[in-house]
């Protein structure tokens, strides 16, 4: 099934939302838009639906899913307790791109938590997602709607590229906003710990609570990540991505060197850098002065190299400030090499 819904018309009684909600209740899996990326949703309490999600994505069984809810009160039905910090975050940032890791009460199907005692929950800030979640009435497990390892989908077309024929339906609500997945914060300890950087930054969280830590694995590759998904290769386009960590002169030198070797080179930069570089295949990805625009366009730009048959993609690095932390986290995971002077 392919359904289109206008964001302005999204409501629980909209016929398309009703049909998609029924599909979820019948243990089918469907892709739907959120403010971050498209999710592949299934009833989180159904073993059958959860198995379908893992199968369609080709996802490793040990990587748990995020559960999406349409009303804040639904959290209580999924966890053993709501610590104060979690309540504070929910009040400040939900609906929004923030996933809270809490202690699971076992209501969801086993596969959702992948054997962990904790569960990731979020309430997305998107009219289509909220209407669908409310219409279905069930908690909805939804990883990003890409084949495992690929860049997350920011449009229904991306979902089709990866999952066409493998899922029951796609709910097309246009292009997503943030463009990167939600921030994942572990709220089961004394101090909140960011396991995956995302749309809500460390600075945002620190406006609300005195201290927030970063999972050591985010800084040191030798540490074992607490978020199982963070250990896999991710977000990768088909050609190898090499990150350039140097000035524009160095960047140009690398482009020229590789071209002299006879390589077909793709280049991905901000619009500011694009004006100062020379390369036959150059795609711009947002503006350095608005890093949120880089985030919004990142996955689409990475995917757009797939049809160019390039041998290698050279990508620009960004400052690790604000949402830049999340951008660089995804770029480093997607890349096979980091090239420095
Ligand atoms: O923005 C998003 O979060 C999107 C949209 C669809 O909501 N979803 C998403 O899901 O990015 P996924 O499955 O691609 O990423 C979920 C991440 C993985 O890194 C996973 O390991 C982590 O969340 N995660 C889920 N449950 C966890 C848990 N109980 N403990 C630690 N990490 C968990
Ligand atoms: Mg994902």
Q: What is the pLDDT of residues 55-104, one digit of tens each?
A: 999 999 999 999 999 999 999 999 999 999 999 999 999 999 999 999 99
ipTM of the complex: 0.99
Alpha helices in the chain (DSSP H): 15-25, 47-57, 84-93, 110-113, 127-136, 156-163, 202-206, 248-260, 271-274, 291-304, 324-334
List pLDDT tens digits, range 129-159.
999 999 999 999 999 999 999 999 999 999 9
For ligand 1, what atom is nearest to the CA of residue 182? Answer: 1
Ligand 1 binding pocket mutation candidate from 104, 156, 181, 200 (most atoms within 8 A of CB): 181
Q: Of 3, 333, 21, 340, nearest to 180 (Cα)? A: 333
First to last CA, the chain: 50
Relative to the alpha carbon of 149, which ligand is closest?
Answer: 2
Pick the ligand that lies closest to the CA of residue 65: 1
Which mutation among 184, 186, 224 tests ligand 1's pocket best, with the greatest number of atoms within 8 A of CB? 184
Report the half-sphere exposure of 64 (CA within 13 A, side-chain side).
23
* Distance between CA atoms of residues 158 and 299, nearest Å: 9
Ligand 1 atom 12: residue of nearest CA:
143
**CB burial of residue 268 (10 Å; 0-12, 13-18, 19+):** buried
341 residues of the chain, pLDDT tens digit each: 999 999 999 999 999 999 999 999 999 999 999 999 999 999 999 999 999 999 999 999 999 999 999 999 999 999 999 999 999 999 999 999 999 999 999 999 999 999 999 999 999 999 999 999 999 999 999 999 999 999 999 999 999 999 999 999 999 999 999 999 999 999 999 999 999 999 999 999 999 999 999 999 888 776 777 777 666 667 777 899 999 999 999 999 999 999 999 999 999 999 999 999 999 999 999 999 999 999 999 999 999 999 999 999 999 999 999 999 999 999 999 999 999 99
Residue nearest to atom 19 of ligand 1 (CA): 229
Long-range contacts of 284-289 (CB under 8 A, 24+ apart): 285/316, 288/318
Spatial separation of the C-alpha atoms in residues 209 and 203, rounded to whole Å: 10
Instruction: Identify the residues whose C-beta falls under 6 Å from ligand 1.
Output: 34, 36-37, 39, 63-66, 97, 99, 101, 113, 116, 118-120, 124, 142-144, 181-182, 184, 195-196, 226-230
| Ligand 1 atom at shortest distance from the alpha carbon of 66 | 25
Which residues are CB-neighbours of 329 under 8 A, at least 6 positions away?
Answer: 196, 197, 218
Phi, psi (deg, nearest 5) at residue 75: -55, -45
Q: Which alpha helices (DSSP H) does 94-246 contain, by range?
A: 110-113, 127-136, 156-163, 202-206
**Any idea which residue has 């979020």 for tokens?**
122
The SS3 assignment for 312 reads: strand
Which residues have a Cβ under 8 Å from the Cβ of 126 and sit 6 or more positions away?
A: 7, 33, 34, 35, 95, 173, 176, 177
Which residue's alpha carbon is nearest to atom 6 within ligand 1? 39
Q: How far apart are CA 210 and CA 302, in angstroms?
A: 37
Report the pLDDT value the prediction gives residue 226, as an integer from 0 to 100.
Answer: 77
> What share of the chain has pLDDT > 70, as a percent?
98
The atom number, within ligand 1, closest to the CA of 142 reads: 6
Mean pLDDT, the chain, rounded, equals: 95
How big is the CA angle at 51 (ends 50 and 52), to the nearest 5 degrees?
90
Atom of ligand 1 nearest to the CA of 178: 1
Distance (Å) of CA 3 to CA 35, 39, 43, 303: 18, 15, 19, 23
CB-CB contact of 305 with 238 (8 Å): yes
Question: How close is the Cα of 219 to the center of ligand 1, in Å?
Answer: 19
pTM attached to this predicted model: 0.96
Residues facing 89 on adjacent strands: none
Tell me the two tokens of residue 112: 């959702």
H or E element: which one contains 209? none
């Amino acid at each position: 099934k392919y359904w289109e819904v206008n964001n302005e018309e999204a409501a629980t009684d909209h016929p398309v939302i009703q049909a998609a909600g029924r599909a979820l209740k019948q243990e089918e899996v469907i892709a739907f838009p959120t403010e971050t990326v498209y999710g592949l949703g299934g009833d989180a309490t159904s073993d059958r639906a959860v198995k379908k999600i893992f199968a369609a994505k080709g996802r490793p069984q040990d990587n748990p899913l995020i559960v999406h809810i349409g009303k804040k009160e639904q959290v209580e039905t999924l966890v053993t307790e709501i610590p104060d910090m979690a309540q504070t975050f929910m009040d400040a940032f939900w609906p929004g791109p923030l996933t809270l890791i809490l202690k699971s009460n076992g209501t969801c199907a086993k596969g959702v938590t992948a054997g962990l005692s904790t569960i990731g929950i979020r309430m997305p800030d998107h009219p289509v997602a909220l209407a669908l979640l409310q219409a279905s009435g069930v908690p909805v497990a939804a990883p990003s709607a890409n084949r495992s390892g690929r860049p997350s989908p920011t449009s229904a077309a991306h979902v089709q590229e990866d999952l066409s024929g493998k899922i029951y339906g796609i709910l097309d609500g246009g292009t997503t906003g943030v463009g990167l997945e939600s921030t994942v914060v572990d709220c089961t300890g004394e101090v909140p710990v960011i396991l995956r950087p995302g749309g809500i930054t460390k600075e945002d969280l620190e406006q609300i609570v005195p201290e927030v830590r970063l999972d050591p694995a985010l800084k040191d590759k030798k540490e074992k990540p607490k978020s199982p998904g963070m250990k896999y290769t991710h977000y990768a386009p088909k050609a190898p991505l090499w990150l350039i960590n140097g000035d524009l002169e160095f960047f140009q030198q690398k482009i020229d060197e590789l071209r002299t070797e006879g390589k077909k080179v793709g280049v991905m930069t901000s619009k500011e850098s694009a004006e100062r570089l020379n390369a036959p295949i150059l795609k711009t990805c947002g503006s350095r002065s608005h890093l949120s625009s880089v985030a919004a366009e990142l996955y689409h730009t990475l995917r757009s190299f797939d049809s160019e048959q390039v041998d290698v993609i050279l990508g620009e690095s960004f400052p690790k400030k604000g949402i830049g932390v999340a951008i660089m986290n995804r770029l480093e995971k997607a890349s096979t090499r980091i090239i420095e002077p």
